[in-house]
Structure 1
């Protein structure tokens, strides 16, 4: 995945414009999202500053600058990776729903 889409993912060693990230897609729906965690405090600060600029320019989906996180990262973080799976997405897959919004329990997010 391109680095600009993955602000917390580690870059690919021989291509720093890409990140070590994957998704599991089942029947056209993203079920799992995973990546290697970025543990370089200098790179992470640069990315967070760029995300903060985007946020201030009006992109409400951009990540905010987190000084506490950056300070902790400066102390060192071992290599790490992880993945996440949404229960809502699994439920949509099992019920053969066409959209996650069809099965969520939060009425304000459901289509009218």
Structure 2
């Protein structure tokens, strides 16, 4: 992996960790309790914004064609899985492990 990709992944992890920490403090829960859900949101968000074409693109092209009468060329669905997506996916997988451990009772609930 190139140095540039590693730096992008580290920056993405830092951003995800900071946002997850802020959400956890806002709802007064532990970091690992929120990590799975924010990991899902980050992964789906980076997947959505790193892809092109697909159902939404076809819908917008159809609407423009209907309004203008000019048939537009359809874009094929393509995904470019870059370092940001891989960082989000790894964050999600780590959060999934913690979530499973929480649900199974291996990690005890927080005492107040």
TM-score for the superposition, normalised by structure 2: 0.31
Whose strand proportion is higher, 1 or 2? 1
TM-score for the superposition, normalised by structure 1: 0.31
Whose helix proportion is higher, 1 or 2? 2
